[in-house]
Amino acid sequence: MPAALTGLTVLDLTQVLAGPVAARALGDLGATVIKVERPGSGDDARSFPPFKDGRSAWHAALNRGKKSIALDLKADADRLIFEGLLARCDVLLESFRPGVMDRLGYGWPVLHADFPHLIYGAVSGFGQTGPDARRPGYDVVAQARGGLMALTGTPGGPALRAGAPVADYTAGLYLAQGVLAALVDRARSGRGRMVDVALLDAQLAMLDHAVAMGTVTGQPPGPDGSRLPAVAPSEAVQASDGPFVLAAGNDRLFEKLCIALGLPLVGDARFADNAARCRNARLLNRLIEAVTLDNTRAHWIARLTAAGIPAGPVHEIDQVLKDPQIVARNMVVDVLDRNGRAAYKAAGNPVKMSDAPDPTTRAPAPDLDGNRGEILRWLEQG
């Protein structure tokens, strides 16, 4: 069977990260993605390291399988091509600051009137409304302003960004989610909608527990290292050869953990339930590590897993890419080059769908303007 979004065409004006993540998510589900880039330089991500054979490996992963055409939306000839694409595409994605598309003559009110079928997806730092809508915004700004940096790191340590651009990726996935909802609505109504996603909003949407803690207790939560503040124990602990993680999210699991580690803590009032364990989390960590430091990570992970307790290693990326479970799920794929050779490793599609293809390779990211002839021929056939 074809992929779920086969036959859907996405016109992708986005660049760098959040928007391309959304377009890639739709493309991985079968949509055809036509990437519109600036003539001459293209997407800024083309200049992001690391490079292989002069090409950005990150750009290749983000834009795999897309087609590229370079258009100057201020030039009359290119505007005619762009408007031809708008007439034939189902979805438009853009990541400009609010107001840019309006100045170009392609804002939502104009496009909705001229192309009522079109779904318009916009991702920006602060969204289309509000006092800061037209301010520039990047992932690190959203992490800082949205509260994540205040929660990342160790108590008393410096504010830290997360190790991945989580605001960008989350905003991109919310944009894809919104587009899919708009497609369902269009099937009923016949008309497109605008989807407006902000990095700052997406960042805040990740912090339900922090919001609950801050509003209920009146005290803003701070960083807790590797520990999940709502559950204890749920964190990294030290073995004789380094850290591993374990989690006992309910009383039954905690009892199993105590048996597996030989800890005489069942019935101890300080650890009687999850709330008590959270209050005494640092003490509990020390008691657990007094045991786990006597043997290796592999020993404890095997023992806890056998007892039904969630536990796992703290992997470096090279170990992640070789993890048997990740490999079995086809979560490491080869991105091909333009000669059909495996050139880059990338994360696969985490959405596994029945009767849908999930190939071990992905088509290459396009050369800048590399599909112009193909795209123009497609327009002529329409």
Catalytic residue annotation: 168
Report the C-alpha gap between 168 and 190 in whole angstroms. 31
Omega within 30 of 0 (cis) for the link into 233: yes
Q: Cβ of 96: how many Cβ atoms within 10 Å? A: 18
Give 168-233 as a DSSP string. HHHHHHHHHHHHHHHHHHHHHHS---EEEEEHHHHHHTT-HHHHHHHHHHSS-----TT--TTSSS
Contact 19/95 with Cβ under 8 angstroms? Answer: yes
Neighbours of 108 (CB within 10 A): 19
Q: What is the CA angle 376-27-7, rounded to 5?
A: 60
Determine contact, residues 20/93, Cβ cutoff 8 Å.
no
Residue 218 gets the label, from left (phi > 0), alpha (psi -120 to 50) or beta, of: left
Return all residues near 113 (Cβ < 8 A) that are at least 6 apart: none
Read off φ and ψ for residue 219, nearest 5 degrees. Answer: -120, 120
Say whether the peptide bond before residue 50 is cis (omega within 30 degrees of 0). Answer: yes
Cα–Cα distance list, 112 to 88, 115, 117 (Å): 14, 5, 8
Contact 43, 63 (CB under 8 A): yes
Contacts of 232 (CB under 8 A, 6+ apart): 274, 277, 278, 280, 281, 284
**Residues 6 or more apart in contact with residue 372 via CB below 8 angstroms:** 68, 69, 70
DSSP code, position 280: T
Q: Which residues pair with 122 in a beta bridge?
A: 94, 196
